[in-house]
Amino acid sequence: MSDNGSVVSEEKVQKYLDLTKEARIKATPITSNDVDKKRLEEMLKMCDDYQKDALYFMNNGDLVRAFGAINYAHAWIDAAVRIGLLDGHGDDRLFTLP
């Protein structure tokens, strides 16, 4: 039986954990006012919290929830790039660029 992408494995979760970690490091703030800085801080906290949740779920054998959580984490950082709070430095592998 071949894996057509429908199986959530620890390796697949780890791949996305690594991808999100890379994105979190690469994206840099481009906010200039206090309101946007606060919004970005909240979005990055959501990213970090979902990353922690993903690790927790993976370490407890719940790979489906881990996969969901890490995708939510990446979505928060991707959204911050998309709306212009973070600079994705032209990386369309890690981000959905504006």
Q: Tens digits of per-residue pLDDT, 3-30? A: 566 889 999 999 999 999 999 999 999 9
Q: CB-based burial of residue 80 (10 Å sphere; 0-12 exposed, 13-18 middle, 19+ buried)?
A: buried
Instruction: Say if residue 83's pLDDT is above 70.
Output: yes
Does the reported pTM lie above 0.85? yes
Instruction: Give CATH superfamily name and number for 10-87.
Output: AF1782-like (1.20.1270.90)
Q: Tens digits of per-residue pLDDT, 47-62? A: 999 999 999 999 999 9
Token pair 């946007």 is found at 36
Task: Choose among 26, 15, 47, 31: nearest CA to 90.
Answer: 26
Q: What is the residue-wise DSSP string for 5-27?
A: S----HHHHHHHHHHHHHHHHH-
Region 41-45: what's the mean pLDDT? Answer: 98
